[in-house]
Amino acid sequence: MGYKSKLFAGVASLSLLAAQAFAAGSTRLEIQSAWPLTLPASGASAEHFAKQLEVSGADSLKVRLYSAGKLVPSLQIFDAVQQGTLDAGYTSPLYVAGRFPAVQLFGGVPFGPDALEYVGWIYNGGGLDIWREIYAKQGVVTVPCGIMDSEAGGWYKFEINSIDDLKGKKIRFAGLAGEVMKKSGASVVLLGGGDIYPNFERGVIDGTEFSMPAIDAAMGFEKVAPYYYLPGWHQPAAITELIINKRKWDRMSAQQHALIENACKDTMLWTVTSTSVANSEAIEKFKAAGTEIKSFPPSVLAKFKSSTDEVLKEQSEKNADFKRVLDSLNAYREEVALWSKNRS
């Protein structure tokens, strides 16, 4: 074999070895969303994240994304990720509030921070560090991966003129707001997204909160409930998360971690800006369908606020992690309060 042939053969061998080494360092992530991928913001954000990761990760990270319920029920995503039967899930911390009360403060707080303040606390006020410490005990890593603007106050088959109108009603709510609704006399039911409409239609529940108008429009709630309340006192902003099995995460490289983190940050910006027009269009759609757009009376909001204060106090007394997270959030909000009040 001539010199050039040997040279070319050597270069080819090195290229093959490099390709094999790169392939050996690549990672496949199977991710299930808690929401249908066709759903604006929440489901669509999962798709946006997966596409961003495919582009930025090239051959280093390969993603297979499943819609809600394809592998496990939405409310069992955390368990599947924890056990390692699912690599990762795109979900809400509110869905595990019953087991880990503190993490619901990362999913949305009644009368809490708006989207900008929330992100500020997560990345600059120590919020993410505490969040990850709590999940680390469960063998799970969290990455904030979407933030939505204020949700709607919900859909109801009855008018809410006083707090007494909620007594005895079965209402789908999640997280801290669900505890507030219990104090208002409602019977609270936690349902995954795909289970809400059929239960609403059959009269199993009398009301539901779900999300912002653009997402609610995709669910078709205007067909089964005549009253829509705005705005949402229970979630001025809502964070969605990517949760990854910790053993899987630890086997990935620092570069792969950075690719995931950056794709999620991009998704957070995309999510919060993706539905402004669609929200307005959805409200017009509801009006055209005969929906009555309502506001909660001041007396009802005042009761919700006082009940929220009670719930936060009770949860802090029962759970040290909850108190730690709430203290961190409140300290950050107090620190930025002067600017927050005067920036508009």
Does 97 map to a domain? Answer: yes
Of 314, 330, 331, nearest to 176 (Cα)? Answer: 314
Residue 69 belongs to some domain of the structure:
yes
Report yes or no on whether pTM surpasses 0.85: no
Would you call 12 exposed, middle or buried from its count of C-beta atoms within 10 A (0-12, 13-18, 19+)? exposed
Q: Is residue 94 part of a domain?
A: yes
Asked if residue 82 belongs to a domain, the reply is yes
What the block records as the tokens of 240 is: 């969605």
Q: Which residues are annotated as a binding site?
A: 151, 172, 209-210, 235
Res 58: pLDDT: 63
- 314 located within any domain: no
The string of pLDDT tens digits covering residues 284-335 is 999 999 999 999 999 999 999 999 999 999 999 999 999 999 999 999 999 9
Of the two residues 217 and 84, the one the predictor is more confident about is: 84
CA distances from 297 to 161, 309, 333 (A): 6, 19, 27
Binding residues for substrate: 151, 172, 209, 235
Q: Which residues of 172-181 are buried (b: 16+ CB within 10 A; e: fewer)?
A: bbbbbbbbbb
- Mean pLDDT, to the nearest integer, of 76-92? 96
Specify the DSSP element, H or E, that contains 28.
strand 27-33
Annotated binding site for Na(+): 210
Q: Which domain holds residue 245?
A: 28-148+238-275
∠ CA 320-324-327 to the nearest 5 degrees?
A: 135
pLDDT score for 12: 38
Domain count, the chain: 1
Distances (CA, A) of 173 to 12, 72, 248: 60, 21, 32
Q: What is the CATH number of the domain that holds 82?
A: 3.40.190.170
Residue 8 is predicted with a pLDDT of 36
In sequence order, what E strands does 87-138 have?
A: 88-91
Domain membership of residue 267 (yes or no) is yes
Question: What does the pLDDT look like over 116-159, one tens digit per residue?
Answer: 999 999 999 999 999 999 999 999 999 999 998 888 999 999 99
Res. 54 pLDDT band, cuts 50 70 90: confident
Q: Assess if residue 243 is contained within a domain.
A: yes
Task: Note whether residue 57 is domain-resident.
Answer: yes
